[in-house]
């Protein structure tokens, strides 16, 4: 992803899970946006599979964002982009240079219309 600075043209939301427990002891999960950086997105692959009779599409993408000391990214977080939800399955800081984060993202969705 050389020349990525000029390609940071997609606004993504990095979200972290938050948990709360109600008065009956049930836990619920919600997602809070912790940052909305500009990103360069590159689709890596798309694979169709069948699981329990349902046709699924698994898309893998890479999102490059600027490194920030004030932001910690972990695999429990997710990326929201144009209403689509992506799991973070990989986090890299190329050459440990603290210039970029390359996030490997995965989206699994049904191909049924």
- pLDDT, tens digit (0-9, with 9 covering 90-100), for 13-70: 999 999 989 888 899 999 999 999 999 999 888 777 776 677 788 899 999 999 999 9
Q: Which domains does the chain have, with CATH numbers?
A: 4-110 (2.40.10.270)
- In this predicted structure, what is the pLDDT of residue 49? 72
pTM of the predicted structure, to 2 decimals: 0.82
Does the pLDDT of residue 78 top 90, yes or no?
A: yes
- In this predicted structure, what is the pLDDT of residue 39? 97
71 Cβ partners below 8 Å, 6+ apart?
14, 34, 35
Q: What is the CA radius of gyration of the chain?
A: 16
- In this predicted structure, what is the pLDDT of residue 2? 52
The closest alpha carbon to 102, from 81, 82, 73, belongs to 73
């Amino acid at each position: 992803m050389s020349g990525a600075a000029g390609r940071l043209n997609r606004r993504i939301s990095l979200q972290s899970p938050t948990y709360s427990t109600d008065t009956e002891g049930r836990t619920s999960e919600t997602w809070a946006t912790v940052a909305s950086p500009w990103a360069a997105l590159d689709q890596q692959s798309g694979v169709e599979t069948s699981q329990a009779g349902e046709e699924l599409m698994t898309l893998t993408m890479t999102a490059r964002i600027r490194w920030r000391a004030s932001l910690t990214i972990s695999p429990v977080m997710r990326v929201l982009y144009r209403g689509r939800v992506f799991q973070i399955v990989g986090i890299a800081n190329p050459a440990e240079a603290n210039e970029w984060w390359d996030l490997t993202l995965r989206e699994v969705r049904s191909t049924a219309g």
